[in-house]
Amino acid sequence: MESVKTIESIKRNIENHIGEKVTLKANGGRKKILINNGVIESAHPSIFVVRLDNDIPRKVTYSYSDVLTKTVQLYFAL
């Protein structure tokens, strides 16, 4: 994801990619990095929802501030 400066620009960027595939790289704590593939399902005023493509289908939510602080990094499919 390109470097964005504000939560509003992060939110707009994620809203523009709803329904698209994304690779999600999240800090799991204790030096653990979680990497998953999924689809951005929806965007709400303070969070966004990603449906993961795993053996067991599940959804995860993150806040836009997680992207701003780089706790979560999104890489959109080309």
What's the maximum distance between 2 C-alpha atoms anywhere in the chain? Answer: 35
- Classify residue 59: in a domain, yes or no: yes
Instruction: Specify the 3-state DSSP secondary structure of 30.
Output: coil
Q: Tokens representing 48?
A: 């966004």
pLDDT digits (tens, 9 = 90+) for 27-68: 988 889 999 999 999 999 999 999 999 888 899 999 999 999
Q: What is the CATH number of the domain that holds 26?
A: 2.30.30.100
Secondary-structure percent of the chain, ordered helix, strand, coil, rounded to 5 = 20, 50, 30
- Classify residue 30: in a domain, yes or no: yes
pLDDT digits (tens, 9 = 90+) for 5-34: 799 999 999 999 999 999 999 998 888 999
Locate all alpha helices (DSSP H) within 34-76, ordered by sequence.
64-68
- Classify residue 56: in a domain, yes or no: yes
Q: Tokens representing 75?
A: 């890489």
- Classify residue 2: in a domain, yes or no: no
Domain of residue 41, residue span = 7-76
